[in-house]
Chain A
Amino acid sequence: MTSKPALHVVPEAGATQVKLSIRGVSKTYVQASGERVPALEHARLDIAKGEFVCLIGPSGCGKSTLLNLIAGLDRPDEGSVLMDGRPVTRPGPDRAVLFQEPSLFPWMSVVANVEFALELTGVAKRERTERAMDWLDKVHLTRFALAQPHELSPGMRQRATLARALACQPEVLLADEPFGALDAQSREILQRELQSVWLETRNTFVFVTHNVREAVFLADRVVLMSSRPGRFVAEHRISTPRPRAFEDVLLSKVVVDVHDHLLKEVEEAVASEAGVRGDLA
């Protein structure tokens, strides 16, 4: 596995300025059993300002690790993560994060959750409610502003979390399989909403998923990762104009391509793992 050359992925020539730069980042976790698991090894990736990148790969490929490093929730063992050329050292509202589990604060109403985010970014008290309601309107939750989080469906909760994240007016939106636990219908609605949010804000989005269709539908660029150690092995550019439709034939073709590619990666990973650990059969 280590013999495989690490792909240095750079944005297309002529692309605008680099927003996020992952420079030779390595991260190893020590499991409870004492086993050392290399989650990322010398990963390099540049993400342009306003780019929508989807990271995709088999489980254990370090997608979430990378996202946590960009968010500043964790520090790399080696290398650095730069935003606008400056190293990321801690979490901040300039990099909003959507996790798989909706993380609304259960002791606050939906609107109070959004207001709290506004308060942390320094919005004056009298403006907060109005601006929070604007954000809730964008994700079609105006009617549920005064509800408690647990009273919402999982999809609505994730939309409220999205509104709270966007209220910080982040420069970068990081998402770690945010729709992974939703039913197919809610997932599709949220994917459409995320697309329109991106079209409206043109922020930099980094979206981790293991759903190829989702990645192809949303991204400018789908970056494939290999597992153990995680590194970037290939990328697909999706140039289909937006707004995109799920029924798009061209998109479906790309989905098949990426899917095949991904499958090959997974098979290779399994084969190499079996090689290392001996025959499991």
Chain B
Amino acid sequence: MFAAIWPRAAIIAVVVLVWWAVYETGFWDRVLLPSPASVWDALTSNLTGPNGLIAVAYRSVFRLFVGLGVAVVIGTPIGLAMARWQLFQRSVGSLVVGLQALPSIAWLPLATLWFGLNEKAVLFVVVLGAFPAVAIGTAAAVRMVPPHLVRAGRTLGARGWVLYGRVVLPAAVPGYIAGLQQAWAIAWRALMAAELLVAGARGLGHLIARAGAQYDTSLVLAAMIVIMLVGVGVDALFSWVDRRVRRRRGLLVRA
């Protein structure tokens, strides 16, 4: 436990110390670069309440999972079809790769025209950001299923959908989880960007935008810290699932 915590604590301490030292030199205006203490103060005094950091973060995380859920529902079947049919891969597959290359925030102007400055526009941007990653990750996971497992399934008499559902898909699960890990990170970034720009969406991104407009740099930094903390938390959740699956299959190399 201690071995897991001290490197994290140490790097935080180093960052805070450097920050504090720069702050003390007075090189930057103290409004533009607040001290760690005032950020800590902004963080702790704005935690609760209807527009406190916890409530706002909750709204953002909720949106993240709704958006990610929709992306999974759309992206998974597309990815499976990409792995299965070459024609689909060449047509829809290349479109998905193109979407993957496009930062999804570029959709925001259109999304606000279509849906208005609201929740729907934000979710649209999140889904368009995350579903290509889900689809590409799913297709890659299916393609990387070890051929000897498929051969074994066939010699046992599994064919068609039975072979697919009972052998190919379960064998693809570790790769699929890796794809989801990518997708959630993309979704989270797309969400923050969209919230920054859409005033109607009261999330962490919006909080940063509002605090920045009011020169409340301490609160900006406090919200940024919360965004990182949420990210670390969600990542820990996915990593936990990933480790569980891989340990069960003997794919985890213990150091």
Q: Verify B171–A105 contact, CB threshold 8 A.
A: yes
Q: Verify B155–A95 contact, CB threshold 8 A.
A: yes
| A87 contacts the other chain (CB 8 A) | no
Identify B155's interface contact among A91, A105, A121, A150, CB under 8 A. Answer: A91
User: Per-position contact with A for B139-180: 1 when CB-CB < 8 Å, else 0?
Assistant: 000000000110111111111001000110011010000000
Q: Verify B171–A107 contact, CB threshold 8 A.
A: yes
Q: Verify B250–A149 contact, CB threshold 8 A.
A: yes
A21 to chain B minimum Cβ distance, whole angstroms, is 20
Q: Verify A103–B157 contact, CB threshold 8 A.
A: no
A183 to chain B minimum Cβ distance, whole angstroms, is 19
Q: Verify A120–B249 contact, CB threshold 8 A.
A: no
Tell me whether chain B's interface is mostly helix, strand or loop, or mixed.
helix
Query: Given A99-B148, A101-B148: A106 and B156 within 8 A (CB)?
Result: no
- CB nearest neighbor in A for B159: A90
How far is it, in angstroms, between the C-alpha of A105 and the C-alpha of B153 when the chains are bound? 9
Query: Given A103-B149, A120-B162: A91 and B154 within 8 A (CB)?
Result: yes
- CB nearest neighbor in A for B150: A103
How far is it, in angstroms, between the C-alpha of A71 and the C-alpha of B152 when the chains are bound? 11
Query: Given A116-B166, A151-B250: A105 and B157 within 8 A (CB)?
Result: no
| B90 contacts the other chain (CB 8 A) | no
Identify B250's interface contact among A95, A96, A106, CB under 8 A. Answer: A106
Q: Which residues of A in the span 79-110 have a Cβ within 8 Å of any Cβ on B? A: 90-93, 95-97, 99, 101, 103, 105-107
User: Per-position contact with A for B211-255: 1 when CB-CB < 8 Å, else 0?
Assistant: 000000000000000000000000000000000000011110000
How far is it, in angstroms, between the C-alpha of A148 and the C-alpha of B246 when the chains are bound? 12
| A136 contacts the other chain (CB 8 A) | no
Query: Given A148-B249, A149-B250: A107 and B152 within 8 A (CB)?
Result: no
Binding site for A on B (CB under 8 A): 148-149, 151-159, 162, 166-167, 170-171, 173, 248-251
Q: Could you write out 15 A-B pairs with CB less than 8 Å apart?
A: A73-B151, A92-B155, A93-B156, A95-B155, A97-B152, A99-B152, A103-B148, A105-B170, A106-B249, A107-B170, A116-B166, A120-B158, A150-B250, A164-B156, A168-B157
Binding site for B on A (CB under 8 A): 71, 73, 90-93, 95-97, 99, 101, 103, 105-107, 116-117, 120-121, 148-151, 164, 168
20 extra A-B contacts, CB within 8 A, seeds A93-B157, A95-B155, A105-B171: A73-B151, A73-B154, A73-B155, A90-B159, A96-B156, A99-B151, A99-B152, A101-B148, A105-B152, A107-B170, A116-B156, A120-B156, A120-B157, A120-B158, A121-B157, A148-B248, A148-B249, A149-B250, A151-B250, A168-B156
